Amino acid sequence: MKKELEFKTESKRLLDLMIHSIYTNKEIFLRELISNASDAIDKYHLLSLTDDTLEKTNEYEIHIEVDKKHRKISISDNGIGMTYDELVNNLGTIAKSGTLEFLQKMKEKEVKETDLIGQFGVGFYSSFMVSKKVQVITKSPFSETAYKWVSEGEESFTVEEAKKESRGTEITLTLRKNEDEEDYDSFLEEYKIRSLVRKYSDYVKYPITMQTESQKPRLDEEGKEIEDEFDTIIQNETINTRTPLWNKPKSEVTDEELNEFYKSTYFDYTDPAFNIWLNIEGALTYRALLFIPSKAPYNLYSEKYEKGLQLYAKDVFVMDKCKDLIPDYLRFVKGLVVSQDLSLNISREILQKNTQLKKIATNLEKKILSELEKTLKNDREKYVKFFQEFGVNLKYGVYDNYGEKKELIQDLLLFKTVNKDEMVTLKEYIEAMPKEQEFILFGSSSSKEAMKASPQMDLVKSKGYDVLVLTDEVDEFMISILHEYDKKQFKSINQGDLNIVDETEKESIKNLETENQDLLSTLKEILKDEVSDVKLSTRLTDSPVCLVSGEGLSFEMEKVINQMPGDKTMKADKILEINPKHALFQAIEDVYLTSKAELANYASVLYNQALLIEGLPIKDPVSFSNKMIALMIKASKSPVHTDDDEQAA
């Protein structure tokens, strides 16, 4: 009995998208159907090894047939097939979480459809980009009957019993007519199908066969060719080479082939930035093909992203995402490892403890890092691009495991600096340091410009010292783990004593501090809930005040930690520094002598200003604003005299 069923909501949306797609790469439908067929054969084969009711065989095939007259193309396999329930569920709903995400992104209009189709591969439904009707006939070895599924891609599909004796699935597309520049006819041409299989599915491990027609001169009874008469020879020909790329001699594989392999295997639509090919022979024999994408995948930093390399044992596929082959901080590397030594039916648990695998992983890591080093040295532009996409991962690499890997990674880091337009390595920074500069200076800021303008830069700027500008959340944590580079310690311009001013200067500020001890401790008392200390600054030249943190947690770290879920009690030590050379200091001294109550207002305004400059939130903006206004009104009544005024007078 024929049944009509509705597609699930998401499926409808995806189908609608496919039908109206303006994606220029519609040809990928063939890749998707062949890959489904290959998966179905994999599934059957695996099951047949353990299920005695299933026939054991090695005769697998994916067959393509074209019926030009009726505009049909069919792809059949002798894989696992589908039962009635599987058919309804698998083809009536979207199972793949990736595809659901795809739809979500589309809805949010973050990305263009055309950018996404290539990135995700939208599976079976992509056939609706080229077809007006799709028919699936399938038989599962676990089902008595075969079923037929038909849809024109609109609201619903039909399912009914069908005739099919042998196990597997046959998908028949009825192609659309050519319209608006779209050429669907070409998919009916043998040469086109051959070239698509070669491009996308050449390494599919099962034979992809196609009926090919060729003409041969007809022979007479004596075996002589008859002029102008031909016989049509129909052959079933295998059109994929099936030789895995990695088994070809390296010298015979072009970069273009590698790029195509990368794109079709890892569903990217841009060529990789790096490809690394390893042929290792010796105590351990293995091959590896590694790729670094040009662009970070959209989900690289989401929890759903799974790192890992594909693992093959003696050319047989073992695992899709072998995590143990790649460290976390290189999670963006894609590729595969083919080992000649691993046994085929190795389990995941054993793999984790496998020493061979560990050795391979260590080698791969070294190789990738040395490739990056080479690029940093010889092709700076390419490296900078890489670093902009993936540098943050390297920084986490330094930070992870208490800096276990820092020696390996630190020379690959690039930093923005206040004085330079180009990013620099730590080595370059140190080489450019003036002799007397003691520390590697850094500061956290949203931008170079903001940092240049910050009060903490006063003295540093006047000395001409360069400062690393940190913009990523992980940066300060990474620096605290690095601690030093080439025997030079890192020092934040917002933290502690920079040791920049000379001894006499220090001495004079110390004296000033002693002279003003009462004033400073009164200020400290007024602000006791806000700051841990009030000091005269050795780092300010032009600015009146600034906030710095003590030696422990920095403001930036406090910000980052407080953005994380959970415990929010971590606070950086705040120290208010006042510039003794600024006219404002004189004003404070005056107020201190005339009115203690007024001093409290001054202290509070000063502190809040310092917070604002630091990009930290102020607790009570209304009270701050009221105090400012009161001060302004007062100032207008008894204008402050400055040197300029006196000169003018």
Q: How far is the CB of 2 from ligand ADP (least distance, A)?
A: 21
| Lookup: tokens for 135 | 């028919």
Q: Quick check: 40 binds ligand ADP (CB under 6 A)?
A: yes
Q: Quick check: 96 binds ligand ADP (CB under 6 A)?
A: yes
Three-state DSSP at 144 gives coil
Query: Interface mask (CB under 6 A) for ligand ADP, residues 75-94, using x and -?
Result: --x-xxxx-------xx---
Q: What number of chain residues touch ligand ADP (CB under 6 A)?
A: 16
Q: Pinpoint the alpha helices (H) of 20-176.
A: 28-50, 84-92, 97-107, 113-120
- In a 13 Å sphere around the CA of 111, the CA atoms on its Cβ side amount to 16
What Å distances lie between residue 24 and 18, 21, 133, 160, 180, CA to CA? 12, 9, 20, 34, 13
Q: How far is the CB of 76 from ligand ADP (least distance, A)?
A: 8
Whether 38 contacts 205, CB under 8 Å: yes
Closer by beta carbon to ligand ADP, 123 or else 455:
123
Q: Which of 132, 119, 122, 118 is nearest to 99 (CA)?
A: 122
Closer by beta carbon to ligand ADP, 19 or else 430:
19
User: Among 74-82, 220-228, 497-505, 603-611, which window interacts with ligand ADP (CB under 6 A)?
Assistant: 74-82
Q: How far is the CB of 171 from ligand ADP (least distance, A)?
A: 7
Query: Interface mask (CB under 6 A) for ligand ADP, residues 101-140, using x and -?
Result: ----------------------xx----------------
What Å distances lie between residue 20 and 13, 128, 129, 319, CA to CA? 11, 9, 7, 36
Residue nearest to ligand ADP (CB): 123
Closer by beta carbon to ligand ADP, 74 or else 114:
74
Query: Interface mask (CB under 6 A) for ligand ADP, residues 533-572, using x and -?
Result: ----------------------------------------
Q: Which of 292, 321, 293, 290 is nearest to 307 (CA)?
A: 321
Closer by beta carbon to ligand ADP, 79 or else 397:
79
Q: Quick check: 36 binds ligand ADP (CB under 6 A)?
A: yes
How are strands ordered across the β-sheet holding 286-292? 274-280, 286-292, 334-339, 309-313, 316-322
Closer by beta carbon to ligand ADP, 102 or else 624:
102
- Among 22, 49, 95, 111, interactor with ligand ADP by CB under 6 A: 95
What is the distance between the terminal CA atoms of the chain, rounded to a whole angstrom?
A: 106
| Lookup: tokens for 92 | 């009536």
What Å distances lie between residue 166 and 90, 111, 215, CA to CA? 20, 43, 32
Read off the DSSP letter of residue 55. P
Q: How far is the CB of 40 from ligand ADP (least distance, A)?
A: 3
Scanning residues 142 to 181, which ones bind ligand ADP (CB under 6 A)?
169
Cα separation, 472 vs 621, in Å, equals: 28
Closer by beta carbon to ligand ADP, 274 or else 317:
317
Q: How far is the CB of 296 from ligand ADP (least distance, A)?
A: 23
Residues that bind ligand ADP (CB under 6 A): 32, 36-37, 40, 77, 79-82, 90-91, 95-96, 123-124, 169
